[in-house]
Structure 1
Amino acid sequence: MNKVIMGLFALIVCSITSAQVSDELKGVIKAKENGETIELVGANVYWSGTQTGTISDGSGRFNVPRVSGKNFLVVSYIGYVTDTIDVSNKKNLKIELLPDQQLDEVQVAGKKPGAYLSRLDPIATINVTGEELCKAACCNLSESFETNASVDVAYSDAATGAKQIQLLGLSGNYVQMMTENMPNFRGLATPYGLTYIPGTWMDAIQISKGTSTVVNGFEALTGQINVEYKKPLDSEKFFLNLFGSDMGRAEANVNGSIHVNDKMKTAVFAHYSKDMMSNDLNDDGFRDEPLLSQLNLMNRWDFNNKKGFTSQLGLKFIDEERLGGEMEFDDNKPSDEYYGIKIDTKRLEAFGKAGYIFKDQVSSIGLVANWSHHKQNSFYGLKTYDATQNSFYANLLFQSIIGNENNKFTTGLSFQGDMFDELLQMDYRDGNTSNNYLRDEFVPGMYFQYTYSIPERLTLIAGVRSDFHNIYGTLFTPRLHAKYNIAPKTILRASAGKGFRSPNVLAENSYLLASSRQLLIADDIDIEEAWNYGANITQYFDVAGKELTFNMEFYRTDFVNQLVADADQSARLISFYNLDGKSYANNFQVEAKYEMLRGLDVVGAWRMNDVKTTYNGVLMERPLNSKYKGLLTLSYATPLKKWQFDYTLQFNGGGRVPTTLENSPVNQRPDRFEPYQIMNAQVTKFFRKWNVYIGAENLADFKQPNPIIAGDDPFGSEFDSSLTWGPVLGRRIYFGLRYFIDRE
């Protein structure tokens, strides 16, 4: 009954709710170069005397929310004279900046921005735009970070195709995954959720490091990754993407938006992908990657009454099937003749947002909510795992000021509910080995956040929240963020705060069932708790009329309690237990970005990871983690952007591998892996309404040697596919076509 009530409540809320409201000022920023009018991409736009603003997009356009009592808009761009404009009673602006005559030469390439660090956000936030996503084979979210220095994505194992994300040296369990600022892909969706968002559906990705604000919950121990879907207001009228690879993968994406009238708009998104060829390039008898078939559909509606109220409503459906295991296996049921893996997933999501801005233009109220039903039927060799998860999230928030615009606050109430029903059968031939795991988690919460700002100099955000977990009790979460403009081109950010995370041992680690290792789970697993603190300094230099961006940062995560996954006690099991001792992650990174030549963007980065956890009383390096990562990206667009060439080189440091000395000599592995490099490249040819691209991933064809242990005896005691630290697939060549009809 609880499940029915929860689902109905979610659908009722979603049917009346939706997105954040704003009375916005729109415009376009242009300039003249050599007699030709061009759009200025990435120009800063903000209200004079405030920290509220934005940057212009790939077409020079911007939307900025109005601020009560502020009528002067500041527009700036390196190489041009900063302009302050009175925008009283104006709704649409056409702004043309004049060249700064103090510079000997001004060169502006009309390239759309790729990934950039927001100058205005008090939290260190990397914005990944649609332009950046097109630089690689961005078929889904898991492939969206190949050109990003901060985020790593790797296979969790060598058999199921599960992928995990890493941020600040820790796995994606500690990153709060969001879609349009709503928590998503929790529990059962954790191993495969990165493939649930097609690349062509995404408008942008925001990557926030360290603890987030308290508004979005008590999680986010190391950061947040938020995906913004394309909106009906400004997405293409029609978009088609066709993709294929030499490994037999094919996919098609179709998007379209309709403006029903000036108040109501809708968009439809469809995705279908299928692997049509099994590959075993390392000759271990197992498919290098499961055969994947996915149907993904979404419809969303936007409503704006032009009087302060806006709302959004969306519905999303996923039907996915994975078939892996030995090359000879091709069946829909477990077999003791050939080792097979099948994971059949059906997922339904509904989301809604609603908001209203009061007549004073400084106070607003909003409600966001989402609901998901996730059902997985799967087997791994002789093991079967069937599970269902129903989740509901709601956040009611109120924003206003205290006295003036320099003192703002946000307060609200939230609710997170997750209901799990998991059935694990260790041998399908023996019904006595079944274990049924039932768990309901309900977490109501409340929060208050205060923001103080000295315009163009200092911003402080202090927040606290209390959540009341039905299993783990009261969770108190304090967080603090600061941004200080030391100089006009020098920005210092710092953050500190606590985070909690409720572990879902089996749901989040189901890929480990593709192994002969036993899963030994302690009875007293507690909630995970950690402090995160760090600092970030960004310096902008004027070099030869162009801007060099240099960023340096350090973050540390200290665990008070952690779910420890111990693979070192024995090669026959993985033990899950509460932390007893120290566990921490230190992360240091430097990054520089510069337009070396006109049209040629260069990004270089280097990151060091120091991640250690106490395993069975011994403080040890976290296994299967690279000690460092280097990144070099080159992106060149010819004049008028007829061609674009993109190249990425990744340097991955070595790391520790859990002991396999218990195995027979032929199935033992070294206790460390060596550094390795990955190269990707892509060439794109642009036409007026379409473009074609061809590229290659892992150009040097590097593969982890023998990623599956005892693949010749998968039903034996030494079979293990979980010790994965590098690429499982070798070189992949792909090609595609994009066709679009833009909205005016």
Structure 2
Amino acid sequence: MNRFIIVTILVFCAGISLFAQANKEITGVVKANDKNKVTELVGANVYWANTQAGTVTDYNGQFAIDQPKGSVLLVVSYIGYKPDTIKVRNQQHFEVILQSDQLDEVLVAGKKAGSHMSRLDPMTKVNITGAELCKAACCNLSESFETNASVDVSYSDAATGAKQIQLLGLSGNYVQMMTENIPNFRGLATLYGLNYIPGAWMESIQISKGTATVINGYEALTGQINVEYKKPVNSEKFFLNMYANNTGRWESNVNGSIHLNDKWTTAILAHYSEDQKSTDDNDDGFRDEPLLKQLNFMNRWDFNNKNGFTSQIGIKVLDENRLGGQMGFNGSKPSDQLHGNSNDTLYGINIDTRRYEGFYKAGYLFDDEYTSVALVANYSFHEQNSFYGRKQYDAEQRSFYANLIFQSIIGDENSKYSTGLSFQSDEFDEVLLMDFQSPDEVQILKREEIVPGAFFQYTYNIPDRLTIIAGGRVDFHNDFGTLFTPRLHAKYNITPNTILRASAGKGYRTPNVLAENSYLLASSRQIIIADNLDQEEAWNYGANITQYINIAGRELTLNAEYYRTDFKNQLIVDADQSTDAVYFYNLNGDSYANNFQIEGKYELFRGLDVVAAWRLNDVKATYNGDLMTRPLISRTKGLFNLSYSTPLKKWQFDFTTQFNGEGRVPSTASNPPEYQRPDSFDAYQIVNSQITKYFRKWNVYVGVENLGDFKQNDPIIAGDDPFGDNFDSSLIWGPVMGRRIYMGIRFSIDRE
């Protein structure tokens, strides 16, 4: 039925294309010249004189517009700059530089957009820029979504510091994590990978909702999150960031880039952080966050021969140690817990991680500027040695990814296609001891996943009106056979200021039970895994409508969207059957997630941006025969953000409130009364704020996270008896840490 719907839509769109007028498309970029400094202009107006046909420039200052018959005068305008009129004859691409219309002694300063959605992209994609990342401490990727209404980040448990994201009401397992369009942080890196990307390394983040295109694989059941690192060609010559907070965490980031000649550039990104102060704000005897040491290093080289060929090569090395558990435990091996008599025994957690990555990219752009070929390859080795009380878990993962992509046009630039071959392999070696004192009771898990594949994707565009992306891929899995993945995206401009987007598609995912859920070992629950687990399979479809309204010379942006994910097969993590165990088995029944969100953005007055959003999560799955709401997820979410920048951007003030609705908690009724918890949690809110003072080459920032000092009461069950039968740190729905005050400094020598 779903395939029939997609085929019907494609046929309908093909019919539309037969009647579309093949007007010539004019493209270009609009820039501004202020004090001899040229920068791209976001939101500049581009329109044909004496017509209603127009558009605005995107985040990169670029535009594309159809040329109506008889129109030759193209007008470009922006508030504060002299408009320019271009006579268009045979040329199809223009670079327009607008001059300031202010007097020389008056300095005009603009505020760069923090996050935005491109008007040209057919996918529902939110771009988070470096300006948005500076609104909060943003020590790493996990802290980059505090001002974003679409992505939630929360702790997986109250003992290990593991974090997970949620998108469209589902956990991060169903979101394809990417670094520069390379699938990354899978398997063993799922729980802690958000901490592996320092904030100072990121150039931008792209959040795509719904199924992604088929180019990057068959995963991305609910969306993609792609991180773009800073590039040697345009990043700072030198950048330094120092950060510290009142709980004892501090970090240092040093980045530098060198232009060796007109073809070779290189960059070094280095990070070191420590959190060596034990805190126990909730008085349960356990560290609220594990003690942490992380060393992170990246070196990349870029080559451009200025004749169509480019390449990149880089390495990344990470070493991290997490030490958690009861206050006072400082051991490095499980036996360190068994000193003295049993009354003195302390429960400890130690997670020691080493990760090595290498990547290579190469691309060639042919002379017609529409045809290109690219190769992307990445290899990673991840090793984790860990223990959780008496449980010991050691694992290794070796992953290789390669993607060969060819792109060209059919006839003209409004009809494009991409095709290619891909290869993904993952090798897991896992060893689990449920009690290191009984080494004979060991589980050894070995698994190898080899998946070659091929894809084809077609893009049809009627400029300023309709864009269709239709694609499919076939993958050959060594365990699960042939996988077919169809996906469709469409964007329709109802008016120049009203844009409708829709998508539908299928996705698959291979669950890695222990690697992705090792935080559950920090409990007394048994781990019970069903035999012969199948791949997860789901359909995702939804729509987004965006309305732009001009009010008092400023643009109000309104978004409304709905997405649904239907699972045909899913790995169920069942903590409801018993308080003594967690069961892993394939879905037998219904499982779905409905997600509805509305959002508005407006510059209330010059310098003050306001963002307000509200979201409804309706997420249910069949647990042991009963259709129930997924636990530990707020049914409703809200966000309100104020960001004010003074004239000339000498000061910036940011204030964010996150509203979290009520939700369900797995039953603990079979526990002794003192270890029982309510079957639901109430609504709560988190408030964050930050003040930044800007100087010529550096800035200082001071902020507060969780200003209201809200904490989940008694997050750890039986913390007074961690080696007993009722100990559980996994029923987490709210923050474990209380109020945190931080400060930092950023210093940069920018590249001209």
Same fold (TM over 0.5): yes
Counterpart CA distance in 1 for 2:74 and 2:431 is 59
Confirm or deny: 8 A CA contact 1:45 1:56 kept in the other structure: no
Match of 2:58 among 55, 58, 71: 55
Confirm or deny: 8 A CA contact 1:163 1:192 kept in the other structure: yes
Confirm or deny: 8 A CA contact 2:45 2:54 kept in the other structure: no
Counterpart CA distance in 2 for 1:252 and 1:41 is 33
Counterpart CA distance in 2 for 1:153 and 1:216 is 24
**AA aligned opposite 2:31:** I
**Inter-CA distance 312–524: structure 2 relative to 1 (3 Å threshold):** same
Give the equivalent residue in structure 1 for 2:746. 738
Residue 697 (structure 1) aligned with residue 730 (structure 2): no
**Inter-CA distance 536–185: structure 2 relative to 1 (3 Å threshold):** same
**TM-superposed deviation, 1:91:** 11
- Per-residue CA deviations over 1:119-153 (Å, capped at 9, x if unaligned) read 11100100000000000010000000000000000
Give the equivalent residue in structure 2 for 1:317. 317
**AA aligned opposite 1:401:** I
SS in 1 for 2:440: helix
Counterpart CA distance in 1 for 2:743 and 2:400 is 39
Confirm or deny: 8 A CA contact 1:54 1:120 kept in the other structure: no
Counterpart CA distance in 1 for 2:447 and 2:240 is 42
Match of 2:351 among 343, 350, 356: 343
**TM-superposed deviation, 1:55:** 2.9
Confirm or deny: 8 A CA contact 2:706 2:739 kept in the other structure: yes
**TM-superposed deviation, 1:465:** 0.3
**AA aligned opposite 1:441:** E
**AA aligned opposite 2:461:** S
Residue 481 (structure 1) aligned with residue 489 (structure 2): yes
The residue correspondences of 1:621-632 to structure 2 (distance < 5 A) are 621-632=629-640
Match of 1:729 among 720, 725, 737: 737
Give the equivalent residue in structure 2 for 1:672. 680
- Per-residue CA deviations over 1:427-462 (Å, capped at 9, x if unaligned) read 111111111100000000000000011011100000
**Inter-CA distance 352–426: structure 2 relative to 1 (3 Å threshold):** same
Confirm or deny: 8 A CA contact 1:571 1:660 kept in the other structure: yes
- Per-residue CA deviations over 1:222-257 (Å, capped at 9, x if unaligned) read 000000000001000000000000000010000000
**Inter-CA distance 628–41: structure 2 relative to 1 (3 Å threshold):** farther
Confirm or deny: 8 A CA contact 2:41 2:57 kept in the other structure: no
**Inter-CA distance 74–258: structure 2 relative to 1 (3 Å threshold):** farther
SS in 2 for 1:355: strand
- Per-residue CA deviations over 1:276-299 (Å, capped at 9, x if unaligned) read 210001110000000010000000
**Inter-CA distance 116–83: structure 2 relative to 1 (3 Å threshold):** farther
Counterpart CA distance in 2 for 1:173 and 1:351 is 23
Residue 584 (structure 1) aligned with residue 598 (structure 2): no
**Inter-CA distance 73–361: structure 2 relative to 1 (3 Å threshold):** farther
- Per-residue CA deviations over 1:82-104 (Å, capped at 9, x if unaligned) read 855769999995610688xxxxx
**TM-superposed deviation, 1:27:** 6.5
Confirm or deny: 8 A CA contact 1:459 1:484 kept in the other structure: yes
Counterpart CA distance in 1 for 2:90 and 2:249 is 54
Counterpart CA distance in 1 for 2:492 and 2:642 is 31
Counterpart CA distance in 2 for 1:192 and 1:74 is 50
Confirm or deny: 8 A CA contact 1:51 1:453 kept in the other structure: no
Counterpart CA distance in 1 for 2:475 and 2:228 is 27
% of aligned pairs identical?
A: 67
**Inter-CA distance 563–97: structure 2 relative to 1 (3 Å threshold):** farther
Match of 2:471 among 460, 463, 468: 463
**TM-superposed deviation, 1:595:** 0.2
The residue correspondences of 1:351-366 to structure 2 (distance < 5 A) are 351-366=359-374
Confirm or deny: 8 A CA contact 1:236 1:741 kept in the other structure: yes
Give the equivalent residue in structure 1 for 2:665. 657
Counterpart CA distance in 2 for 1:311 and 1:198 is 24
Residue 238 (structure 1) aligned with residue 238 (structure 2): yes
- Per-residue CA deviations over 1:696-723 (Å, capped at 9, x if unaligned) read 0000000000000000000001000000
**TM-superposed deviation, 1:214:** 0.4
Give the equivalent residue in structure 2 for 1:122. 122
SS in 2 for 1:645: strand
Confirm or deny: 8 A CA contact 2:109 2:649 kept in the other structure: no
Give the equivalent residue in structure 2 for 1:189. 189
**AA aligned opposite 1:619:** L
**TM-superposed deviation, 1:382:** 0.3
Counterpart CA distance in 2 for 1:56 and 1:341 is 45
The residue correspondences of 1:206-221 to structure 2 (distance < 5 A) are 206-221=206-221
Across the two proteins, how many residue pairs are aligned to each other? Answer: 702
Give the equivalent residue in structure 2 for 1:67. none
**AA aligned opposite 1:697:** E
Confirm or deny: 8 A CA contact 2:45 2:78 kept in the other structure: no
**AA aligned opposite 2:384:** Q
SS in 1 for 2:671: coil
Give the equivalent residue in structure 1 for 2:272. 272
Confirm or deny: 8 A CA contact 1:78 1:547 kept in the other structure: no
**TM-superposed deviation, 1:51:** 13
**AA aligned opposite 1:55:** D
Counterpart CA distance in 1 for 2:55 and 2:446 is 46
**AA aligned opposite 1:118:** S
Superposition misfits of 4+ residues, deviation over 2 angstroms: 25-28, 35-41, 43-48, 50-57, 61-64, 71-94
Q: TM-score when scaled to structure 2?
A: 0.90
Counterpart CA distance in 1 for 2:94 and 2:568 is 52
**TM-superposed deviation, 1:63:** 11
Confirm or deny: 8 A CA contact 1:41 1:112 kept in the other structure: no
SS in 2 for 1:509: helix
**Inter-CA distance 85–670: structure 2 relative to 1 (3 Å threshold):** farther
**Inter-CA distance 414–47: structure 2 relative to 1 (3 Å threshold):** farther
Counterpart CA distance in 1 for 2:567 and 2:84 is 46
Gap runs ≥5 in structure 1 = 1-24, 65-70, 100-106
Give the equivalent residue in structure 2 for 1:554. 562
Counterpart CA distance in 2 for 1:118 and 1:28 is 15
Give the equivalent residue in structure 2 for 1:440. 448
**TM-superposed deviation, 1:352:** 1.1
Counterpart CA distance in 2 for 1:581 and 1:159 is 33
Counterpart CA distance in 1 for 2:78 and 2:479 is 52
Structure scoring higher RCO (CA < 8 A, sep ≥ 6) equals 1
**TM-superposed deviation, 1:29:** 1.5
Give the equivalent residue in structure 2 for 1:542. 550
Confirm or deny: 8 A CA contact 1:390 1:419 kept in the other structure: yes
**Inter-CA distance 486–476: structure 2 relative to 1 (3 Å threshold):** same
Counterpart CA distance in 2 for 1:600 and 1:360 is 45
Counterpart CA distance in 1 for 2:397 and 2:28 is 42
Give the equivalent residue in structure 2 for 1:29. 31
Give the equivalent residue in structure 2 for 1:506. 514
**TM-superposed deviation, 1:165:** 0.3
**TM-superposed deviation, 1:360:** 2.1
Confirm or deny: 8 A CA contact 1:45 1:55 kept in the other structure: no
**Inter-CA distance 89–488: structure 2 relative to 1 (3 Å threshold):** closer
Give the equivalent residue in structure 2 for 1:601. 609
**TM-superposed deviation, 1:381:** 0.3
**Inter-CA distance 463–612: structure 2 relative to 1 (3 Å threshold):** same
Confirm or deny: 8 A CA contact 1:383 1:424 kept in the other structure: yes
Give the equivalent residue in structure 1 for 2:168. 168
Confirm or deny: 8 A CA contact 2:177 2:183 kept in the other structure: yes
- Per-residue CA deviations over 1:515-541 (Å, capped at 9, x if unaligned) read 101111001210000000000000000
Give the equivalent residue in structure 2 for 1:10. none
**TM-superposed deviation, 1:108:** 8.3
**TM-superposed deviation, 1:118:** 1.3
Counterpart CA distance in 2 for 1:78 and 1:377 is 58
SS in 2 for 1:640: helix
**TM-superposed deviation, 1:43:** 3.2
Confirm or deny: 8 A CA contact 2:371 2:408 kept in the other structure: yes
Confirm or deny: 8 A CA contact 2:58 2:119 kept in the other structure: no
Gap runs ≥5 in structure 2 = 1-26, 65-71, 102-106, 339-344
**AA aligned opposite 1:110:** G
Counterpart CA distance in 2 for 1:47 and 1:381 is 67
Residue 390 (structure 1) aligned with residue 393 (structure 2): no
Counterpart CA distance in 2 for 1:435 and 1:740 is 51
Counterpart CA distance in 2 for 1:146 and 1:719 is 31
Match of 1:367 among 336, 360, 375: 375
Confirm or deny: 8 A CA contact 2:58 2:120 kept in the other structure: no
